[in-house]
């Protein structure tokens, strides 16, 4: 098996990060891999916000947990509490992927996301794709966070990814061949 296929097959969603920060070279490599993603008509309908500020990640995390705690449906809150009470699992680095809302924007942002997590895996880093990053970004402090994070005009949150060294690992999910039809 070649290195690319090995990285794809071994990648899992990490939910237990160490405090060790990423190096500038690691951040640069992940960013460049993300930006190398193909997009429809090469329109690149994304904007990346890279957060290396642990205090800011923790603030977003706490805001998300507070919003979940006050929601009528406690199922997500309960699940996060079972996992240690953190949405971002102590990760030292986060990438927010914003979309311009164009027709193919969500798909193109998803492709970019996959490039980033496979790049991280190839660097020996763990990652987790976190749609729940949208909770604090769409909550009561939405405008404040958009201003502080410098969201460009016309862009909205699409998906988040957290990165770092794993404290503990787990096997990747099993392949489900029932999800395939071959003609």
- CA pair distance 126, 84, nearest whole angstrom: 18
Whether 172 has a pLDDT exceeding 90, the answer reads no
Give the per-residue pLDDT at 173: 86
Residue 100 falls inside a structural domain: yes
Q: What is the mean pLDDT of residues 108-132?
A: 97
> What domain count does the chain have?
1
CATH code, domain carrying 124: 3.40.109.10
More confident residue, 168 or 91: 91
**DSSP line for 16-57:** -B-SPPPPHHHHHHHHHHHHT---GGG---EEEEEE--HHHH
Residue 177 falls inside a structural domain: no
How does pLDDT run across 51-97, given as a tens digit for each residue?
Answer: 999 999 999 999 999 999 999 988 888 988 998 889 999 999 999 99
Residue 13 falls inside a structural domain: yes
**Residue listed under structure tokens 């098996």:** 1
Which tokens belong to 160? Answer: 């988040």
Give the per-residue pLDDT at 171: 84
Give the per-residue pLDDT at 26: 98
């Amino acid at each position: 098996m070649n290195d690319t296929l090995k990285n794809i097959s071994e990648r899992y969603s990490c939910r237990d990060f160490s405090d060790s920060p990423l190096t500038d070279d690691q951040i640069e490599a992940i960013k460049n891999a993300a930006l190398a993603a193909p997009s429809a008509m090469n329109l690149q309908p994304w904007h990346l916000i890279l957060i290396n500020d642990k205090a800011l990640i923790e603030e977003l995390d706490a805001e998300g947990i507070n919003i979940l705690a006050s929601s009528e449906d406690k199922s997500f809150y309960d699940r996060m509490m079972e996992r240690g009470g953190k949405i971002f699992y102590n990760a030292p680095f986060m990438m927010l992927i914003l979309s311009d809302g164009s027709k193919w924007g969500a798909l193109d942002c998803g492709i970019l996301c996959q490039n980033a997590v496979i790049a991280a895996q190839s660097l020996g880093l763990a990652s987790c794709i976190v749609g729940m990053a949208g909770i604090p970004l769409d909550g009561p402090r939405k405008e404040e966070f958009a201003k502080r994070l410098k969201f460009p005009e016309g862009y909205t949150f699409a998906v988040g990814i957290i990165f770092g060294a794993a404290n503990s690992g787990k096997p990747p999910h099993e392949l489900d061949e029932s999800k395939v039809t071959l003609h």
